[in-house]
Chains A and B, each alone.
Chain A
């Protein structure tokens, strides 16, 4: 099992450009999450999907959109990138019906210039 797979691993964008971060899990988990990690601020929840067909805002949703494409895939879109969105983005998944842990992907390092 690959676990949680994120693509790309690195990306550089110019201000105003758009992109989609991809995430897929093969653990048959119901719930999926997007976090961002900034120095000194821990991990902050951007959006999550409790189950296929549902998405909800987390702590820092502004400037992002998400799509739960199917049970396996959960994408994060930046419509108009800003330097404040420079960060490391982690996708995670968990089983809904028993005490989780969250299983994280390897992250996407995004730089917006």
Chain B
């Protein structure tokens, strides 16, 4: 089955700096890569996702890049703010229309943005 590795497990940055979280996956057939943000005591919520036919996607201060050859993808957060402090999870799945999307998650990165 799919295996997703995520690094680092913890990341501390100063407000205004950039943060990068990296994930690798094992199954070359995986084609959907979402990122979830989980605040303390809350549910995971999707912040951005990318499909395998796209190399990069941006949404304001957040961007995700995908390298299919190397089987890795990364989350980039620019101009970090205290409210970005949370645990971030990457995930991967083989999606096809009409089937369930069984996401395999990484183990999470705890991001702390300090003032």
Residue ranges of A at the interface with B (Cβ–Cβ < 8 Å): 31, 33, 35, 40-45, 48-51, 56, 58-59, 90, 94, 96-102, 104-107
Contacts and interface: CB of A to CB of B under 8 A. Distances in A.
Nearest to A59: B1
Nearest to B47: A101
B108 A42 contact: yes
Contacts of B45: 104
B6 to A, nearest CB: 8
Interface stretch (B11-19, B64-72, B76-84, B93-101): B93-101
Interface of B: 1, 6, 9, 32, 34, 42-46, 49, 51, 89, 95, 97-108
Contacts, number: 65
B100 A94 contact: yes
B15 to A, nearest CB: 27
Contact of A42 (B32, B42, B99, B107): B107
21 contacts: A31-B100, A35-B105, A42-B106, A43-B103, A43-B105, A44-B105, A48-B102, A50-B99, A50-B100, A58-B102, A59-B104, A96-B98, A96-B99, A96-B100, A98-B97, A99-B32, A99-B95, A100-B32, A101-B46, A104-B44, A106-B42
A31 B103 CA distance: 12
A45 B107 contact: no
A43 to B, nearest CB: 4
A97 B9 CA distance: 34
A45 B100 CA distance: 12
Nearest to B31: A99
Contacts of A41: 107
Please report whether the interface of chain B is mostly helix, strand, loop or mixed according to DSSP: loop
A97 B98 contact: yes
A43 B51 contact: no
A109 to B, nearest CB: 9
Nearest to A31: B100
A48 B51 contact: no
A2 B43 CA distance: 14
